[in-house]
C-alpha cells in the first residue's frame, strides 16, 4: 500500500527550485499525541489538539545551491551533513527533489532558554518552504499531511490558533492531517516555566515507541486520549476554561503515567517539575485558575486567562508569558 503523503508529493507538478521563505509557529498540545499505529507513515493512535505559540517558531528558506553541494544552516551556523538536524532536513528534502542540491537555512525564534523542542515548527516551516520553492500547488491540509511525515506534531504547526490533528483511519494515512479550528480566544495565555535545558535523554519518538511497546498502562491511553481531544475541543468552543484546564492537565499527567509504567520506566519530569506542579496546585487551592501540561521534557507549561497573568508571574516570577493570538 502506497503512502498518501509520499504519493501526493510525487504526483504534484513541480518547477525547478527557487528561493522561498516560510514561517511556522511552534505549538503545545492541549490533548496529546503519544503512540503510533504505523511508524513508517508516522500515523498516530489518537487525535490531538494544540495551541500555536505566536512568534515562537521557525523561519526557513529553501533555495537552489550555487556550488552543487547541499548546505544546511541552523541559526546562522553551518552544519555538517552528518549532524542530526542536517540529516533529518535533507532526508525530508529528498522526498521533494530529484537530486538537485539545495540550501536550507533555518532560524528558530524560540528562545533557547525556554527549553522547548522546535521540531514541530521546524518541519512545518520546511514543508511550506519546500512546497513554495518547488512551486507546488497544495492546500494547507495537504501540507499538514506532508509535514506529519517529518514529525507528528509538525502537522499541527501550519497555522496560528487552535488546531486539531485527526488521527484518520485510512491505511495509507491519507486522512491523517490537521485542520485549523474556528475558535479565537483572545484572553487565552500560556506560560512556560523553565525547569531544565539539558538535552533530553530520549527523543519523543523513542520515548513513545518504548512506552507503546512495554507499558501495561498504555492500553488505556488511545481511547482516553481520543475522548479528551473531544472534551478539549468542546470546552474551547463553549469557552469553559475550567473543563478545558482540568482535561488538559489530566491528559498530560495520564500520558506521563503511561511512561512511568514503561519497562524500564521513562520519566521526562524531574523533581523540579513536580515542585512546580505542587506550587501550582497550592496556588489553585487559593483560587488561581491555571492548569499545567508537560511534554517530552521537564519544563512545565501553564494555561490561564489574561486576568490571571499578574498572579501567575507572582507565583512563577521566571515564567515567560505567551499570547498566542497577538498580531493574528
Ligand atoms: C509529547 O511529534 O516529536 O510533544 O512524530 O515521532 O516526531 P514524532 O513525535 P513528536 O511527538 C510529540 C509528543 C508530545 C505530544 C504532542 O505534541 O502531541
Cβ–ligand 1 distance for 152 under 6 Å, the answer yes
Cβ–ligand 1 distance for 210 under 6 Å, the answer no
Q: Strand, helix or coil at 54?
A: strand
Closest by alpha carbon to 313, among 281, 287, 290, 285? Answer: 290
Please check the confidence at residue 198 and state whether its pLDDT lies above 90.
no
Q: How far is the CA of 33 from the centre of ligand 1 (A)?
A: 6
Q: Which atom of ligand 1 is nearest to the CA of 31?
A: 18
Q: Which atom of ligand 1 is nearest to the CA of 117?
A: 3
Q: How far is the CA of 280 from the centre of ligand 1 (A)?
A: 25
Cβ–ligand 1 distance for 33 under 6 Å, the answer yes
Q: How confident is the model at residue 115 (pLDDT cuts 50, 70, 90)?
A: low
CA dist 134 and 157 (Å) reads 20
Average pLDDT over residues 178-206: 90
- Starting at the edge strand that comes first in sequence, how are the strands of the sheet with 188-193 ordered? 290-293, 300-305, 188-193, 320-322
215, with CB counted inside 10 A (0-12, 13-18, 19+), is buried
Atom 1 (ligand 1): residue with closest C-alpha? 295
Question: Is CATH 3.40.50.1110 the right assignment for the domain spanning 4-180?
Answer: no
Q: Per-residue pLDDT tens for 250-283? A: 999 999 999 999 999 999 999 999 999 999 999 9
Q: Per-residue pLDDT tens for 59-82? A: 999 999 999 999 999 999 999 999
Mutate to test the pocket of ligand 1, among 155, 163, 204 (most ligand atoms within 8 A of CB): 204
CA dist 70 and 80 (Å) reads 10
At 327 the pLDDT is 85
Average pLDDT over residues 290-302: 96
Yes or no: say if 134 and 93 are a contact pair by the CB < 8 Å rule: no
Atom 5 (ligand 1): residue with closest C-alpha? 152
Q: How confident is the model at residue 197 (pLDDT cuts 50, 70, 90)?
A: low
Q: Which atom of ligand 1 is nearest to the CA of 152?
A: 5
Domain spans in the chain, listed from the N-terminal domain onward = 4-180, 188-322
The pTM (predicted TM-score) of the whole model is 0.96
Q: How confident is the model at residue 199 (pLDDT cuts 50, 70, 90)?
A: low
Q: How confident is the model at residue 113 (pLDDT cuts 50, 70, 90)?
A: low
CA dist 153 and 27 (Å) reads 8
CATH superfamily, with its number, for domain 188-322: GHMP kinase, C-terminal domain (3.30.70.890)
Check for a shared fold between 4-180 and 188-322: no
Q: How far is the CA of 242 from the centre of ligand 1 (A)?
A: 25
Amino acid at each position: 500500500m502506497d503512502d498518501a503523503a509520499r504519493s501526493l508529493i510525487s504526483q504534484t507538478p513541480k518547477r525547478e527550485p527557487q528561493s522561498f521563505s516560510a514561517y511556522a509557529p511552534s505549538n503545545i498540545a492541549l490533548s496529546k499525541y503519544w503512540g503510533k499505529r504505523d511508524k513508517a507513515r508516522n500515523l498516530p493512535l489518537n487525535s490531538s489538539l494544540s495551541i500555536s505559540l505566536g512568534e515562537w517558531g521557525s523561519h526557513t528558506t529553501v533555495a537552489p545551491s550555487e556550488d552543487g553541494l547541499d548546505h544546511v544552516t541552523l541559526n546562522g551556523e553551518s552544519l555538517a551533513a552528518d549532524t542530526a538536524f542536517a540529516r533529518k532536513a535533507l532526508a525530508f528534502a529528498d522526498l521533494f527533489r530529484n537530486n538537485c542540491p539545495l540550501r536550507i537555512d533555518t532560524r528558530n525564534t524560540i528562545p533557547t532558554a525556554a527549553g522547548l523542542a522546535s521540531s514541530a515548527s521546524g518541519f512545518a516551516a520546511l514543508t511550506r518552504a519546500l512546497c513554495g520553492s518547488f512551486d507546488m500547488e497544495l492546500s494547507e491540509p495537504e501540507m499538514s499531511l506532508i509535514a506529519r511525515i517529518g514529525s507528528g506534531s509538525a502537522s499541527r504547526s501550519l497555522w496560528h490558533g487552535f488546531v486539531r490533528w485527526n488521527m484518520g483511519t485510512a491505511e495509507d494515512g491519507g486522512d491523517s492531517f490537521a485542520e485549523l479550528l474556528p475558535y479565537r480566544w483572545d484572553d487565552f495565555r500560556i506560560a512556560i516555566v523553565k525547569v531544565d535545558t539539558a538535552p533530553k535523554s530520549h527523543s519523543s519518538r523513542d520515548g513513545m515507541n518504548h512506552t507503546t511497546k512495554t507499558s501495561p498502562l498504555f492500553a488505556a491511553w488511545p481511547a482516553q486520549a481520543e475522548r479528551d481531544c473531544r472534551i478539549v475541543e468542546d470546552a474551547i468552543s463553549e469557552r469553559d476554561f475550567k473543563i478545558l484546564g482540568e482535561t488538559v492537565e489530566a491528559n498530560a499527567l495520564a500520558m506521563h503515567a503511561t511512561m512511568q509504567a514503561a519497562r524500564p520506566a521513562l520519566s521526562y519530569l524531574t523533581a523540579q517539575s513536580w515542585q512546580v506542579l505542587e506550587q501550582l496546585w497550592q496556588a489553585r487551592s487559593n483560587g488561581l485558575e491555571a492548569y499545567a501540561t508537560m511534554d517530552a521534557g521537564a519544563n512545565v507549561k501553564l494555561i490561564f486567562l489574561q486576568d490571571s497573568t499578574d498572579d501567575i508571574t507572582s507565583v512563577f516570577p521566571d515564567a515567560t508569558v505567551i499570547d498566542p493570538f497577538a498580531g493574528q
